[in-house]
């Protein structure tokens, strides 16, 4: 069985000391180890941002894509070889700004992907501008007098958009984070895990102390994740009370289930010796 040491590459992450990305990376490795998964059966796809550096630190298959495009890349990989476990990594800017269109449509298709979004409520890679999840009034280099926009609510969007597993984790609660990653990977369908983390360099408002005073566990209130209406109600909570854990889960067919072309044999393993596309090419002339 693979160990966390065997999943670690020689590439050192270029993250600030104290960054929550280190803890999320450790939790991801631990989730893979606990499931006994083989590294060559895992693909990690990321976009641009500090979180996007994750594949370089994992001894699995990896693809570092362009800004906001991790999900369509992962979709292509999933359809080409649906036997792979595919984990998509993004930051709140990558996922919920330029990647928002892909986010919505990947969810409604319900592809079997696990999306880990590192949500620190600020653009860390580009030195501290306001992000889609920044709270109203947040002061940054791009909003020196305070942001006038309401933040995106990724949990509510995911429930409405068709995700079949919707959860929020807190990077300091490492055991819960690891278990949610495991549950998301084992879920058949699109799983979003929005991970609250602290940007030690550029976000001096949403600090660990700020979060510690507000977060609570849905499990402690006997939340029923099969109740969509109740999940919405919990998703709309914020500010002084921030719920953590599994908001919503449902079982329905995935996009891949509806494709007879890959039902028996993954596309990547299908023979192409007798494939002739000349007639198709000629139809365009």
pLDDT confidence of residue 45:
98
Extract the tokens encoding 218: 């849905």
What's the half-sphere exposure (Cβ side, CA atoms, 13 Å) at 253? 6
What's the half-sphere exposure (Cβ side, CA atoms, 13 Å) at 273? 1
CB 41 within 8 A of CB 59: no
Query: Where are the chain's structural domains?
Result: 21-282
pLDDT confidence of residue 120:
93
Q: What is the pLDDT along the chain (285 residues), one digit of tens a residue?
A: 889 999 999 888 889 999 999 999 999 999 999 999 999 999 999 999 899 999 999 999 999 999 899 999 999 999 999 999 999 999 999 999 999 999 999 999 999 999 999 999 898 888 878 889 888 988 988 899 989 999 999 999 999 999 999 999 999 999 999 999 999 999 999 999 999 999 999 988 888 999 999 999 999 999 999 999 999 999 999 888 999 999 999 999 999 999 999 988 999 999 888 888 999 999 999
The C-alpha atoms of residue 131 and residue 113 are separated, in whole angstroms, by 24
- 217-225 long-range contacts, CB within 8 A, separation 24+: 217/176, 217/243, 217/244, 217/245, 218/243, 218/244, 218/245, 218/246, 218/247, 219/245, 219/246, 223/247, 225/249
pLDDT confidence of residue 127:
83
CB 185 within 8 A of CB 191: yes
Coil, helix or strand at residue 165: strand
pLDDT confidence of residue 62:
96
Extract the tokens encoding 232: 């919405």
- Close Cβ partners of 200 (under 8 Å, ≥ 6 residues apart): 16, 17, 18, 19
CB 88 within 8 A of CB 115: yes
pLDDT confidence of residue 203:
87
The C-alpha atoms of residue 21 and residue 18 are separated, in whole angstroms, by 9
Fold of 21-282: Rossmann fold (3.40.50)
- Give which of 73, 245, 58, 66 is closest to 168, Cα–Cα: 245
Pairing of strands 85-91, 165-170: unpaired
pLDDT confidence of residue 214:
96
pLDDT confidence of residue 119:
95
Question: The pTM is what?
Answer: 0.94
- Close Cβ partners of 268 (under 8 Å, ≥ 6 residues apart): 80, 81
DSSP assignment letter at 150: P
pLDDT confidence of residue 166:
98
The C-alpha atoms of residue 247 and residue 225 are separated, in whole angstroms, by 5
The C-alpha atoms of residue 123 and residue 141 are separated, in whole angstroms, by 10
The C-alpha atoms of residue 285 and residue 279 are separated, in whole angstroms, by 10
């Amino acid at each position: 069985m693979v160990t966390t040491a065997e999943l670690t590459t020689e590439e050192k992450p270029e993250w600030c000391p104290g960054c929550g990305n280190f803890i999320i990376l450790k939790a991801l490795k631990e989730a893979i180890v606990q499931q006994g998964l083989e590294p060559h059966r895992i693909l990690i796809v990321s976009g641009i941002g500090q979180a996007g550096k994750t594949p370089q630190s994992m001894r699995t298959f990896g693809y570092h894509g362009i800004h906001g495009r991790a999900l369509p890349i992962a979709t292509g990989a999933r359809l080409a070889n649906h036997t792979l476990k595919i984990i998509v990594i993004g930051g709140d800017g990558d996922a919920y700004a330029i990647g928002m269109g892909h986010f919505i449509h990947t969810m409604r298709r319900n592809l079997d992907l696990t999306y880990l979004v590192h949500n620190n409520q600020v653009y860390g890679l580009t030195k501290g501008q306001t992000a889609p999840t920044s709270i109203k009034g947040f002061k940054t280099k791009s909003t020196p007098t305070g942001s006038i926009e309401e933040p995106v609510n990724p949990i509510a969007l995911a429930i409405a958009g068709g995700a079949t597993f919707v959860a929020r984790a807190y990077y300091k609660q490492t055991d819960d984070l690891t278990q949610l990653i495991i549950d998301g990977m084992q879920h058949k369908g699109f799983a979003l895990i929005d991970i609250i983390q602290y940007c030690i360099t550029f976000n001096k408002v949403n600090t660990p102390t700020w979060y510690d005073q507000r977060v609570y566990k849905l499990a402690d209130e006997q939340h029923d994740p099969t109740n969509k209406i109740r999940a919405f109600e919990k998703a709309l909570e914020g500010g002084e009370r921030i719920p953590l854990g599994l908001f919503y889960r449902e079982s329905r067919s995935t996009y891949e289930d509806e494709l007879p072309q890959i039902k028996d044999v993954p596309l990547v393993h299908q023979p192409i010796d007798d494939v002739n596309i000349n007639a198709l090419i000629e139809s365009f002339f």
